[in-house]
Amino acid sequence: MIELTNLTKKYQTDKGVLTAVDDVSLSIEKGEIFGIIGYSGAGKSTLIRLLNGLEKPTAGSVEIQDQKISAIRGKQLRQARQKVSMIFQHFNLLWSRTVKENIEFPLEIAGVPKSARSTRALELIELVGLAGRENAYPSQLSGGQKQRVGIARALANDPEVLLCDEATSALDPQTTDSILDLLVSINERLGLTIVLITHEMHVIRKICHRVAVMEAGKVVELGDVLTIFQSPREPITKRFVAQVTEAQGAEETVRRLREAYPAGELVRLGFIGEQTEEPVLTELIRNHPVDVNIIQGNISRTHGGAYGTLILQLKGPDSEIRSAISFLENRQVQTEVISGA
């Protein structure tokens, strides 16, 4: 559906050439919710703007449904943009227009007749849950409601792809969740392909099927969300995963635990998918003469399934601890000894 090939974007700045997007190749399937995560300055904003031609690549190409977005211009590009719509962090509504008029704006651009515009706008207002507010001005709406207008506006011309530029970053956690739920329901009901960029791992966990991690213009890790959460490879990915799995910073937590539980061995277990329901702990305790102390644990739900982490303190003779750990490893539970006794 979306094909990025060796995509590169360089900017000429006062300090020299800045490579915002550096040789990125990836493909996004139809109907997928694809997340791109990175810290600010990683190049994700530029990348998403290359997808609808708001930016032109320095090298490489962007292809959406066999149309080379990076090569077309003028009328062709304007028409393509009606099928690749976008929502924004700061909503970018026209303050001079009511909710309904804002949603009609892209329809006016597409040349839809007045009565059809009105019908379509009311339909979309219903879809995003804003019935009754059609004549309100943006200044009379909350952030979440403004984003709902943004989404309705983006859907007006029946796009194939929805680009979300930090769409929930200006919203509080509760509102973020309700907007994410709306995006999932749109994805499922309309079969829309969604590409979103964010710096919040929570967003990725909650709705994305696959994720690409960006750092310094490059995609450093890419994969299934559940897999990435379970076994992040790159340090930056680990930091993002820690955002949602551990309340405090990972190292801080480990140090504190080590101080609080100086005896024995601390082990972090990672569970994924079905394993979260298997009685691994019961077997461990039955078969191994070690004391098991549960220190910390959580289970997180991602779009593709659940995964959990559990931190255990194992106490007993060294040899028994070794054999307990090798038992865990054999059960294909991701096992990590945090610190030696």
108 binds other proteins (CB under 8 A): yes
Which residues are registered as beta bridge partners of 339?
266
Q: How far is the CB of 153 from other proteins (least distance, A)?
A: 8
The answer to whether 171 and 201 are in contact (CB under 8 A) is no
- Cα(32)–Cα(220) distance, rounded to whole angstroms? 20
82 binds other proteins (CB under 8 A): yes
Of the residues 13, 40, 96, 174, which one makes contact with other proteins according to CB under 8 A: 96
Nearest to 102 by CA among 84, 76, 75, 120: 120
116 binds other proteins (CB under 8 A): no
Stretch that binds other proteins, among 71-79, 127-135, 219-227, 282-290 (CB under 8 A): 71-79
Nearer to other proteins, 118 or 276 (CB): 118
Of the residues 97, 202, 238, 331, which one makes contact with other proteins according to CB under 8 A: 97
Nearer to other proteins, 95 or 277 (CB): 95
Nearest to 226 by CA among 176, 280, 301, 297: 301
Nearest to 43 by CA among 83, 3, 69, 4: 4
Q: How far is the CB of 117 from other proteins (least distance, A)?
A: 13
Q: Are strands 334-339 and 265-272 parallel, antiparallel or unpaired?
A: antiparallel
Of the residues 22, 58, 65, 88, which one makes contact with other proteins according to CB under 8 A: 88
Of the residues 5, 19, 105, 300, which one makes contact with other proteins according to CB under 8 A: 105
How many residues form the binding site for other proteins (CB under 8 A)? 28
In Å, how far are 6, 33, 100, 126, 153 from 121, measured between CA atoms? Answer: 39, 25, 6, 9, 8
Could you tell me the two tokens for 336? 């990590």
How remote is the C-alpha of 149 from its chain's centroid?
21
Stretch that binds other proteins, among 23-31, 87-95, 182-190, 230-238 (CB under 8 A): 87-95
Q: How far is the CB of 107 from other proteins (least distance, A)?
A: 10
Give 55-81 as a DSSP string: S--SEEEEEETTEETTT--HHHHHHHH
What contacts 335, CB < 8 A, 6 or more positions away? 267, 268, 269, 270, 325, 328, 329
Of the residues 24, 42, 86, 149, which one makes contact with other proteins according to CB under 8 A: 86
What number of other Cβ atoms are within 10 A of residue 128's Cβ?
22
Q: How far is the CB of 113 from other proteins (least distance, A)?
A: 16
Of the residues 15, 95, 132, 189, which one makes contact with other proteins according to CB under 8 A: 95
94 binds other proteins (CB under 8 A): yes
Kindly identify the residues of this chain, within the stretch 140-169, that bind other proteins according to CB under 8 A. 153, 157
110 binds other proteins (CB under 8 A): yes
Binding residues (CB under 8 A) for other proteins: these are 52, 54, 77-82, 85-86, 88, 90-97, 105-106, 108-110, 137, 139, 153, 157
